[in-house]
Structure 1
Amino acid sequence: MAMKASLHTRIVAVAALSMGFSLISSAFSFYYVKVFLNYYQIKESWFQFSQTLFLVWNAINDPLFAYCQDSTNFRCSRTRRESVLYAAPLFALSFIVPWFPWGNPDTLQPWVTGIHLITALCFWDTMYTYVGLAGCCLFTEMTDDNTERLKMVKYNQIGYLLGSSSIFVLQYMSDQLENFQVFQVTSICVAVVSCLLMMYCGKHAHTERELQYENDVQCGKPKIIKSQEYSYFTLTKQILFNRDFLAFVTVNFFQEFHRTFVSNFFAVIADQLIVKGAIPPIVRSLFYGASSTGPKLVVIFGTGIVGRFGYYKVIRYSQIFMIAYGLIYYMTGPINHWCVMFFMLIDSCLADSVFSLFNLPLSDIADNDLARYTRRHPVTSMVYGMNALVVKPAISLSPMLVVSILNSYGYDRLKDGKLGATNVSSLNTAMFNLLCLFPFIIGCVQFCSWSFYTIREKKTIDITLLVGTGEDSL
């Protein structure tokens, strides 16, 4: 029973990481595009250039940090929890950087704002990657029991749910970004709370392997140094050419593309399609907050369904549903403001809630890799790093594509008040078409790719444990 309580405590520590991570990551994704486009008035050329450099840095840092965490014995990378502990303050700092312009936005040279965005994105992604990789590996290496892993999904979503409240807090305190100074002060408070939560995880989230290592040291067994029997390029080839991995990362790439579109342009599109005065301000704030909290509630109350049917079928059915509602709403057209809000919430909830399950197939892929190559220790970070190598370019490609499309319909002129009524109507139609066609097209591609994923065996899961009773409950 003591061991069970110990595992529960460590799972709660990982949930604290999820909450701290979500506090700043959800707010960063929600605000940075809007702040740089509308408040700093960044030029499209600099925005596209920044996203291109961001894409390149994304492609480089994930596998490098992954190999570093799997193969080095520095204090900041010796264990997964220590990686979180020492990187937490820098991660929190990277969240604050975008919200403080390098001068008066009205008089700054375009290149200054461009360099500011490049610095903010690269600094943010460096820390996001380092902490995120460690957190994902904690999920996989905390336990290899699928029941406990699904329980961790539930607890993590509770953490993400609490963390996503940062959007509502920032919206409310800043009067929907109208009072930017209050937004800046509130963002600092959010960063401090996030840092403390992540450091708590860094103190308490011991993995089974780490506990076993500590027991071996106490028993006088020789110290085992972390090393790799394969070179970096051999490891990369072994992971990238796995059929299940290729099928999964294709699905994940388009899922990230969809999620980035929803998170970055939710407020931009909603502000345009749902004009001011159409709904009360408090309803609008709740609507924006629900775009982040809704997916977490779906996962928290839906873990039983995942346990009953398995993640493969749940992901498959979600793809069918996404194809259906995208096509249906495109055919019916925008009926009224409430229907637009309802559709946007469904799309946001499905995109994020399904993505929350993706650590389960990645963990299975990492487990299979460990057994297939009889490794001395797992290369979990490399599996997640290779996944990020393929997937994270979508974070840059999505806003680049959407900004290009919107500006072709005059969005850049709309911000200056130079767009006529006819062109505004065309811009609104383009935004609505993006809302409908993105899920339809992406769902079709994902449906085809997911058919090649072979780890489909339904594992027996005790659903009663997912509810949490007695000492296992929060």
Structure 2
Amino acid sequence: MKLHQSIPVDIAYGSLSLFTTIVHNIFLLYHVDMFVSVYKIDKASFWIGEMVFLVWNSLNDPLFGWISDKKYLSSGKSHDFSVTSIVLQRLDALLWTGPFFAVSFMSFWVQWAYPGLQFVICLCLYDSFLTMIDLHHSALLADIAISGDTRTRLNSRASLFSILGSGSVFLSYAVWNKDNLRSFRVFCAILTLLSLLGFYVMTRVLKQVFQKNVENLDKHVADNSLVRSEDDSDKQKLKSFVKELMTQSNFKWFAVMNLIQVFHCHFNSNFFPLFLENLLGDAISPGMGPFLIGISFVAPHINNLYFLSLCRKYGVYSVIRILFCVKLALSIVMFLAGPNYLWLLCFFIASNRVFTEGTCKLLNLVISDLVDEDYVLHHRNQAVSALMFGTAALLSKPGQTLAPLIGTWLLAQQTGHDIFATGQELGSIKPLHSLEDSKAVSDYREGCFNLLVYVPVVCAVTQLAAWSQFSLRGKRLQWVKAIREGTTHYV
């Protein structure tokens, strides 16, 4: 019996998240510290690199989405596409980008060029392959399922495999040593190999599973009727698409909320070690640090399984709104309590990341609904899933670059300590105050606490204001789903 005959579609789809998560969490946690503390990148090179990355990180999502889906934007008589062939095209893209993504991850952990140059090349190369994976994997969510129940089931399987992949964070803390990186580099090489082989094997399996079980998928996918696309000029297609997108108020409000969400997620990831080291420090046992880091990466995926069950019952909009309210409430409680309640501080540092990341895990469901709305409003023959996901990322990905830039600036403003001015053995996130200078240490700790609390408060308030304007819920969402589920083409 062949392997693919015993693997359901949702398991095969979700397994790809495992091979992304095992390496991407390590990237989020250590790449800034590696370049700042180990490679000693200077401040100017760091800022220039982040700004170059900001531009490329923002542009590559819609660029790759456009390359993938531009042929589906118009109707005519030149080219014929079946819905099944579109799904298989996305799987072919995953088949070659996955292994290259794994190899690009390894390029961070061995110094092979001037730090500033390596920083730019590694970030842009890694993000290019990650973008291709995210776009096509997310687009499959909208392409192979329309009903909310089916999409949440696929998302649940992805969360289960992400939980397994997050185990790499626990192991990484045991091998991370700035003074001797040999064990850490071996660890990263092993993760690279696992990710490379996993993507290659499971993408091939998923293609076989899809081809075998296509008749069991949603009617939209099983229908092999043809989508016709004419040879309109790319410029004409782009103008038309942008004009149509600007009429969708729900997309614009979602973009505002998502930009802040991406910023907050990456802020938490980049500065998690700083908060642990400077706010908790020696007050917790040596094993508590890696436990908090590990649980902060695993818990969002575990919680996501519960959040997705709530989404099936109450809708994605309501669950996300509740999560924003919880984030705001916890931040206010922590602010009122102050930095001296260590166990409450431990809980808040972990839960802040858990609830923020938990929200991020639900956003693909919202974008999939926006894909449906775009399909219905503009009478498309085929949903342009990758292009919609890429355009959403165009407006949100700058948050990924702004997180370390704004975070380091706010840290300097709150504490008076510039992390780039530190080249000593204590590391870049530690102040240079003498151990006897208790007032300076106390002031620095208070500044870190302010940074920890103020950022989620501002983010939550702004997001609640934007999210209240989002109307793709309730009866409107039911209307959109009814039209798309009822027809392969909207007439």
| TM bracket, shorter-chain basis | 0.7 to 0.9
Q: How many angstroms does 1:177 deviate by? A: 5.2
Query: Among 59, 74, 79, which residue is 2:89 paired with?
Result: 79
Paired residues of 1:254 and 1:394 also in contact (CA < 8 A): yes
| Paired residue type of 1:196 | L
CA distance in 2, matches of 1:228, 1:240: 24
Paired residues of 1:69 and 1:77 also in contact (CA < 8 A): no
What runs of 5+ residues in structure 1 fail to find an aligned partner?
104-111, 213-220, 461-474
Paired residues of 2:331 and 2:456 also in contact (CA < 8 A): yes
1:420-443: CA deviations, max 9, x gaps?
A: 534433322221111111111111
Q: How does 1:330-369 map to 2 (within 5 A)?
A: 330-369=335-374
Determine the structure 1 residue equivalent to 2:36. 37
Determine the structure 2 residue equivalent to 1:253. 259
Matched, 1:95 2:89: no
Paired residues of 1:87 and 1:131 also in contact (CA < 8 A): yes
Paired residues of 1:68 and 1:77 also in contact (CA < 8 A): no
CA distance in 2, matches of 1:76, 1:378: 10
- Given the superposition, is the C-alpha separation of residues 269 and 178 from structure 1 closer, same or farther in structure 2, using an over 3 Å criterion? farther
Determine the structure 2 residue equivalent to 1:126. 128
Q: How does 1:278-357 map to 2 (within 5 A)?
A: 278-357=283-362
Query: Among 418, 425, 431, which residue is 2:442 paired with?
Result: 425
- Given the superposition, is the C-alpha separation of residues 379 and 288 from structure 1 closer, same or farther in structure 2, using an over 3 Å criterion? same
Matched, 1:380 2:385: yes
Q: How does 1:206-217 map to 2 (within 5 A)?
A: 206=207, 211=214
CA distance in 1, matches of 2:86, 2:379: 27
Q: Percent identity?
A: 25
Q: How many angstroms does 1:178 deviate by? A: 5.3
Q: How does 1:10-89 map to 2 (within 5 A)?
A: 10-71=9-70, 79-89=89-99
Q: How many angstroms does 1:204 deviate by? A: 3.5
CA distance in 2, matches of 1:202, 1:81: 7
1:29-69: CA deviations, max 9, x gaps?
A: 11111111222222222111111110011122111100111
Q: How many angstroms does 1:211 deviate by? A: 4.8
Q: TM-score, normalised by structure 2?
A: 0.83
Paired residues of 2:87 and 2:143 also in contact (CA < 8 A): no
Q: Determine helix, strand or coil for the equivalent of 1:79.
A: helix
CA distance in 1, matches of 2:296, 2:36: 21
CA distance in 1, matches of 2:176, 2:59: 38
Determine the structure 2 residue equivalent to 1:158. 160
Q: How many angstroms does 1:302 deviate by? A: 3.4
CA distance in 2, matches of 1:150, 1:222: 26
| Paired residue type of 2:452 | L
What runs of 5+ residues in structure 2 fail to find an aligned partner?
72-78, 80-84, 216-223, 427-431, 479-491
- Given the superposition, is the C-alpha separation of residues 306 and 176 from structure 1 closer, same or farther in structure 2, using an over 3 Å criterion? farther
Q: How does 1:163-182 map to 2 (within 5 A)?
A: 163-172=165-174, 174-175=175-176, 179-182=180-183
1:294-334: CA deviations, max 9, x gaps?
A: 11111123332222111111111111121121122112111
Query: Among 141, 146, 149, which residue is 1:147 paired with?
Result: 149
- How many pairs were matched up? 437
Q: TM-score, normalised by structure 1?
A: 0.86
| Paired residue type of 1:425 | S
Query: Among 256, 261, 274, which residue is 1:268 paired with?
Result: 274
Paired residues of 2:29 and 2:270 also in contact (CA < 8 A): yes
Q: Which deviates more, 410-419 or 54-63? A: 410-419
CA distance in 1, matches of 2:371, 2:440: 51
- Given the superposition, is the C-alpha separation of residues 299 and 7 from structure 1 closer, same or farther in structure 2, using an over 3 Å criterion? farther
1:5-32: CA deviations, max 9, x gaps?
A: 9897221111111111111111111111
Paired residues of 1:46 and 1:114 also in contact (CA < 8 A): yes
CA distance in 1, matches of 2:332, 2:240: 43
Q: Which deviates more, 288-297 or 326-335? A: 326-335
CA distance in 1, matches of 2:230, 2:448: 51
Q: Over aligned residues, Cα RMSD in angstroms?
A: 2.8
- Given the superposition, is the C-alpha separation of residues 79 and 415 from structure 1 closer, same or farther in structure 2, using an over 3 Å criterion? same
Determine the structure 1 residue equivalent to 2:417. 410
Determine the structure 2 residue equivalent to 1:196. 197
| Paired residue type of 2:58 | A
- Given the superposition, is the C-alpha separation of residues 256 and 397 from structure 1 closer, same or farther in structure 2, using an over 3 Å criterion? same
| Paired residue type of 1:100 | V
Q: How many angstroms does 1:414 deviate by? A: 5.3
Paired residues of 2:57 and 2:127 also in contact (CA < 8 A): yes
CA distance in 2, matches of 1:313, 1:40: 45
Q: How many angstroms does 1:345 deviate by? A: 0.8
CA distance in 2, matches of 1:24, 1:185: 13
| Paired residue type of 1:96 | M
- Given the superposition, is the C-alpha separation of residues 96 and 175 from structure 1 closer, same or farther in structure 2, using an over 3 Å criterion? closer
CA distance in 2, matches of 1:253, 1:50: 20
Paired residues of 2:254 and 2:467 also in contact (CA < 8 A): yes
Matched, 1:238 2:239: no
Paired residues of 2:227 and 2:381 also in contact (CA < 8 A): no
CA distance in 2, matches of 1:227, 1:88: 31
Paired residues of 2:304 and 2:358 also in contact (CA < 8 A): yes
- Given the superposition, is the C-alpha separation of residues 197 and 239 from structure 1 closer, same or farther in structure 2, using an over 3 Å criterion? farther
Q: How many angstroms does 1:231 deviate by? A: 0.8
